[in-house]
Chain A
Amino acid sequence: MFGKLIKNEFKSNLHTLGMIYISAVVLAGFMALAYIFKINWISALATALLMASAGIAIVVTFLLVIVNFQKSLYGNQGYLSFTLPVTSGQLLASKVVVAFCWMLLSFVFAGIVFVGVYLYASAMVGDDVRAALSMLKLFSDAIPDKKVVVGAIILLIVYVFTWLLFLIAELFFAITLSNTRAMQKLGGFSIIIMFFVVFVVTTIVSTLLTKNVPLSLVISPTSIDLATGVSMNMEAENLIPVGITGLLFKIPAGALLFIVTTILMNTKVNIK
């Protein structure tokens, strides 16, 4: 059942988001043709539109995740969703997985577009793209321990995944809370109010924890070490401190938000 929920959840967003990505592929095709045939105005226009599509993909995905969650659970579609032979936890989990995948895709897409446009622009003005890539490789080779590179990449992935999942947890919790009978009295702005409240509270807690328990991972050319503070001379010693208190807070806090959201779905939400 969970697989079927995910399949249908993907299908519900595929048309809108698919159009953006198909448009981007078409624009990239125009850019390639403009490069081959040296048509500068098409090149400039397609590049600008492709850059815009990257931004649009992020914004539209974000809005679609919110609208889809609200409509499919607490709008008229909720009459179907909540009478399916699945648990509320399965419903929520399927929406989290699909929202996460779409949001991650939009960020990866934007990253690829910006790197691609940078390399394309370099090629258009006559720079050697291969030289730029070689520079990047030289920088990587300068780090003696490859495990540090791998560790830093894993840390970055964990950061991005946790940040995304926590954002989804905050959004879904705020939307669900605003659809409880008590909060529905606040009207259409209740989702914004609830999200703002949740965001402010979690940010305050995270900041206080970071201030009082300043845990960080310090990346050096040879290792990644846990530290309980950040000193001023780290930069001079080629050390990069990465605070992890906020990250460690977001993992249980996000899980708690998902659990409370499921409980609210089971007990308190009111489908209009």
Chain B
Amino acid sequence: MSEIITVKNLSKSYGSHQVLKDISFSFEGDQIIGLLGPNGSGKTSLIKILVGLIHDYSGEVLIDGKKPCPETKAMVAYLPEKTYLADWMRCIDAVDYMADFYKDFDREKALKMMHTFQLPAKQKVKTMSKGMQEKLQLLLVMCRNAKLYMLDEPLGGVDPAARQFILDTIMRNHPAGSTVMLSTHLIYDVEDIFNSVLMIGKGKVLVKTETNKIRAAGRTVEDLFKEVYGSVWEVD
């Protein structure tokens, strides 16, 4: 199977602060990858580089063998931490917007999910609660039949019920053969869905392994996380 994500000697700095220091790794497709690390470990920067939002880095990044470009953007469904929809948009406008730009966007499925999620088609995004906006963005991402899903902290700051809802939505809607990379610093409840994990911290790759190897050693991802991050975990 070909590599869906390839990173070679990647470094990224913000001024004098280096968040990623010469990291290299790769992942094959058709799996769910947990991108783990405490807050400020460089998870968001790494994802922003992979989706083509950050360009001023050194090293090489390939998505399905290609450098980030419009072609790779067409195959990546990205869910950022922030609300990215414009104020003028209503629910239906957001759906039409995605249908306009992404050939793999399933508009019929989106309309059904809007109904299931109880999102009124004509309600403006700016009048929605934060929870509704997050549901809408999740819907827009998961209604794509993308090759790679990059989900940046989709579970951050939500209650346990919402967390389960988000996980269910991701698990039910990502197409067979696709790859999901989900970043989180909250491992509890989530670790069972991962096939592989990438733990980063202090700008380095600390662990890259398959979860069945962790389990075969009689441990959990959470145990490994605590061991790797030590005191940082307690702060979180």
Within the complex, what minimum Cβ distance (angstroms) separates B151 from chain A? Answer: 13
Q: Which residues of B contact A7 (CB under 8 A)?
A: 100
Most B-side CB within 10 Å, residue of A15, A77, A87: A77
B100 touching A8 by the CB < 8 A rule?
yes
Q: How far is the CA of A11 from the CA of B90 in the complex (A)?
A: 12
The DSSP consensus for interface residues of chain B is: loop
Contacting residue for B84 out of A1, A79, A268, CB 8 A: A79
Q: Decide yes or no whether B121 CB sits under 8 A from chain A.
A: no
- The reply to whether B88 and A15 form a contact with Cβ atoms under 8 Å apart is yes
Tell me which of A4, A87, A268, A270 contacts B100 (CB under 8 A).
A4
Chain A residues near B93 (CB-CB < 8 A)? 11
A204 on the B face (CB < 8 A): no
Closest residue of B by beta carbon distance from A7: B100
Known: A1-B101, A267-B55, A268-B56. A83 touches B76 (CB 8 A): yes
* Chain A binder among B67-75, B107-115, B169-177, B211-219: B67-75
Inside 8 A of A266's CB, which chain B residues have their CB? 55
Determine the chain A residues whose CB is within 8 A of the CB of B226 once the complex forms: none
How many A-B Cβ pairs are below 8 Å? 60
Question: How large, as a class, is the contact surface on chain B?
Answer: 20 to 34
B157 at the interface (CB under 8 A from A): no
Given contacts A267-B56, A271-B53, contact A85 B71 (CB under 8 A): yes
Question: Binary interface profile of A, 43-87, with partner B (CB < 8 Å = 1, else 0)?
Answer: 000000000000000000000000000011000111110111111
Given A77-B84, A181-B15: A82 and B52 within 8 A (CB)? yes
Report the separation of the CA atoms of residues A267 and B55 in the bound assembly, to the nearest whole angstrom. 5
Contact A82 B97 (CB under 8 A): no
Do A80 and B52 have beta carbons less than 8 Å apart?
no
User: Is B188 engaged at the interface, CB distance under 8 Å to the other chain?
Assistant: no
Query: For the complex, what is the distance from the CA of A80 to the CA of B78, rounded to whole Å?
Result: 9
Q: Does B229 contact A (CB under 8 A)?
A: no
Contacts known (A11-B93, A85-B70); A79 close to B88, Cβ less than 8 A: no
Which chain B residues in 36-83 approach chain A with CB under 8 Å?
Answer: 48, 51-56, 70-71, 73-74, 76, 78, 80, 82-83
Kindly state the separation between the CA atoms of A7 and B97 in the bound complex, as whole angstroms. 10
Residues 166 to 209 of chain B near chain A (Cβ within 8 Å): none
The reply to whether B73 and A80 contact each other, CB–CB distance below 8 Å, is no
Which residues on the B side are within 8 Å of A4 (C-beta)? 100-101
Inter-subunit contact A87/B76 (CB<8 Å): no
- Residues in A neighbouring B88, C-beta threshold 8 A: 11-12, 15
Contact status B55-A85, CB under 8 Å: no
Q: A1-B101, A8-B100, A82-B53 are in contact. Are A181 and B83 (CB under 8 A)?
A: no
Known: A11-B88, A84-B73, A85-B74. A79 touches B15 (CB 8 A): no
**Are the C-beta atoms of A83 and B73 separated by less than 8 Å?**
yes
Q: Is the CB of A87 within 8 A of B86?
A: no
Instruction: Kindly list chain A residues whose C-beta atoms are within 8 Å of the C-beta of B233.
Output: none
Contact A86 B76 (CB under 8 A): no
Q: For the complex, what is the distance from the CA of A181 to the CA of B13, rounded to whole Å?
A: 11
Supply 18 A–B pairs (Cβ within 8 Å), ascending by A: A1-B101, A8-B100, A72-B86, A77-B86, A79-B53, A79-B78, A79-B80, A80-B84, A80-B85, A82-B53, A83-B52, A83-B76, A84-B101, A85-B70, A181-B15, A266-B55, A267-B55, A270-B54
Nearest 10 CB-CB pairs, A to B?
A85-B74, A79-B84, A80-B84, A79-B80, A85-B73, A85-B70, A4-B100, A76-B82, A83-B78, A267-B55
- B positions within 8 Å CB-CB of A: 14-15, 48, 51-56, 70-71, 73-74, 76, 78, 80, 82-86, 88, 93, 97, 100-102
